[in-house]
Amino acid sequence: MRHFSFLDDAGADALFHRAPREIVPTDDRRLVATALGATLYAPGTRPRLARDVRRQVAAGVTSMVLCLEDAIADHEVIGAESNVVAALDDLGADPPRCGVGPPMLFVRVRAVEQIMTLLGRLSSPARALIAGFVLPKFGIENGGPGLAAVLRGSEVLGRPLWAMPVLESPAVIFRETRVDELGGVRRLMDEYTDNVLAVRLGATDLSGLFGLRRDRDLTIYDIAVVRDCIADIVNICARGGDHVVTGPVWEYFAQPERLFVSALRVTPFEEADLVHGSEQGARIRSELVSADFDRLIREVVLDKANGLIGKTVIHPTHVPAVHALHVVTQEEYEDAEVILAGDTGGVRASSYENKMNELRPHRLWAEAVQRRAQAFGVLREGLTFVDVLAATQDALR
């Protein structure tokens, strides 16, 4: 798959100093996980599921999850299973393309037994298309059987299947059990490293355990108990840079009356208009604020600052903003290049004359930036995520 494959050559050349590269399943696992980007969830009950997948892939979605768990009611499971199998068979016969290859399609199961059952029902082309399975409520007790089932599925298909555990259980967030539970989760991830693509965070379930739901004016980092849990998940599960943890879902997509004024600065949008001699930047900012996406943007920025890559989304309109914010700026890229060029320690001044680059402390950061650069590209000097949003709108209009 390749991000921004909907751009023509001229559009991509105008935007990127280094264009996104094609990502293939045999690439480094952390690079593949980084390339997930905004992972769009779709209920397995959607009546025109295959058509919906094709439409979203054409609009820039590179990873999707067909959900058989929380997104559907208990009495809908059997029908949803058949619907997902039919959709995957349809897609396998005529795969959608993002770049030269298909998107990454996962199924979120509610029971481990569904993994082998579903694989047994799929046609050969559909089996070739499916990327893996999402394992909800993942923990010490059920994690081993879930990962073992994905490994068995890999053996049946004769190629690797990915597992994406979701951390959302009481043992993960309750203070008295959290450290032991996360330690056990990390050991399972290390044992099945070749099959664990990324760890997902079930922020809605974690909040619900305390009767909490974040308001659209807040980010998940304003909910103290969830923020503290995320910090420990990053501390234990993402430590050392061996595993990728993705950002939690943003669950809003409509705009009621706002309580707080938008914190989204005007300057980047005005500067984009000055560069291009247009008013498109101002219009994009107005649209983002009107649709409440400025809060989503703030949460993605905080995700990245806290070591989370990518994001779970439940509406296709969220995808362009998430992807635009993952494109690497030229400043980030050049700083990362300087840091990775030396391995003897020491300090180098940034060529932007605004920071110091410490070769050892910043190395893991620089490696993560390089993976983002390969997956999402590097912007030309002076361009920002506003330019990415504008190019996306122009290409998909």
Same domain assignment for residues 311 and 372: no
Same domain assignment for residues 309 and 238: yes
Q: Does the pLDDT value for residue 137 go beyond 70?
A: yes
The answer, as to whether pTM is greater than 0.85, is: yes
Same domain assignment for residues 351 and 223: no
Q: Does the pLDDT value for residue 161 go beyond 90?
A: yes
Count the domains in the chain. 2
Domain-located, residue 118: yes
Percent of the chain clearing pLDDT 90 (strictly above): 77
Domain-located, residue 198: yes
Q: pLDDT digits over 269-287, tens only?
A: 666 655 565 667 666 666 6
pLDDT at residue 266, rounded to an integer: 63
Domain-located, residue 263: no
Same domain assignment for residues 151 and 180: yes
Q: How far is CA 24 from CA 19, 30, 36, in A?
A: 16, 12, 12
Same domain assignment for residues 311 and 350: no
Domain-located, residue 142: yes
Q: Single out the residue of 34, 25, 19 nearest to residue 1, CA to CA.
A: 25
Domain-located, residue 68: yes
pLDDT at residue 223, rounded to an integer: 96
Domain-located, residue 61: yes
Q: Does the pLDDT value for residue 23 go beyond 60?
A: yes
Same domain assignment for residues 346 and 320: no
Phi/psi of residue 381, each to 5°?
Answer: -55, 130
Crossing angle for the helix pair 385-396 and 267-276, to the nearest 10 degrees: 60
Q: Is 171 left (phi over 0), alpha (psi -120 to 50) or beta?
A: alpha
pLDDT at residue 173, rounded to an integer: 98
CATH assignment at residue 168: 3.20.20.60
Q: Does the pLDDT value for residue 264 go beyond 80?
A: no
Measured on CA atoms in the order 368, 4, 86, 125, is the torsion positive or negative? negative
Same domain assignment for residues 181 and 307: yes
Domain-located, residue 151: yes
H or E, element range at 40: strand 38-43
- What mean pLDDT comes out for the span 32-41? 98
Q: Which residue has the higher pLDDT, 135 or 349?
A: 135
Distance of CA 311 to the CA centre of its chain: 4
Same domain assignment for residues 104 and 151: yes
Same domain assignment for residues 309 and 343: no
pLDDT-derived band at 106, boundaries 50, 70, 90:
very high
Same domain assignment for residues 226 and 336: no
Same domain assignment for residues 370 and 301: no
pLDDT at residue 290, rounded to an integer: 52
Other Cβ atoms closer than 10 A to 310? 27
Residue 224: exposure state from Cβ atoms within 10 A (0-12, 13-18, ≥19): exposed
Same domain assignment for residues 251 and 363: no
Q: How far apart are CA 19 and CA 3, in angstroms?
A: 9
Q: Which position has the token pair 């940034």?
A: 350
Q: pLDDT digits over 316-361, tens only?
A: 989 999 999 999 999 999 999 999 987 777 888 787 778 888 888 9
Domain-located, residue 81: yes
Other Cβ atoms closer than 10 A to 37? 25
Q: How far is CA 311 from CA 42, 44, 183, in A?
A: 14, 20, 23
Domain boundary among 266, 300, 326: 326
Domain that holds residue 136: 9-258+289-326
State the greatest distance between any 2 C-alpha atoms of the chain, in Å, as a whole number: 61
